Amino acid sequence: MQIPILVLVTLGASVSLFDGLWTPSNQNTLSRADGIILLLFFSIFIYYLYTILTKKANTHFIEKPKYKVFISIVLIALGLGGIIFGSDLVVNNIAAIAEQIGISQKIISVTIIAIGTSLPELVTTVVAAKKGENNMAIGNIVGSNIFNICIVLGLPVVIMGDAATSAYNFIDGIFLIVSVLLLWIFTATDKKLNRYEAIIFIVIYGLYGGYIFLQ
């Protein structure tokens, strides 16, 4: 059920963002209303997860938390502070480097920043796959993408207002949608990915990277 939700969220975000196709302007705009819709999608996803956890809590033993509530809150606050500080450093310095060496921010964002921010998911997925935890490996990616689209993309737009760009076009959306649909198709039967299916995803990313550099 999580992957169909990811497909729905991806399609919704793509339709909302790539509105330059049917408007006179060449810019694609994500409005505050679009951001609110994405947040509503995330609320539905959270409610779905809550219902699953509630059912499992009634049938499974719940492990005692490692930390008390106050310590957990402090650690979360410190972690969020570090993420905010680190993100600010990354964005400012990457933008400066891109400007100095004459590379577009789009190329930097879909390569260095995308890979750098995805390393935690990559490590987690590799460890889960080695331990045979296929549900955790795939669920980690699905949940991360839903969060990124709904919260990372939607929340700043709701707070800061409309975001317009001409750097991203219909082809970018096609690569995104095709990747998500393939994930759904590949995992629809046996709920896991094999090596050949994984190679297809790597090839798709390679093709997209080549397309970005050739623009």
Give the relative orientation of helices 32-57 and 134-147 as an angle to the nearest 10 degrees: 150
The model's confidence at residue 60, banded by pLDDT at 50, 70 and 90, is low
Distance CA 1, CA 47 (A): 13
Which band of pLDDT confidence, cut at 50, 70 and 90, is reported for residue 210?
confident
Q: How far apart are CA 122 and CA 86, in angstroms?
A: 19
What are the structural domain ranges in the chain? 2-63+104-214
Q: What's the pLDDT tens digit per position in 141-160?
A: 888 888 888 888 888 888 88
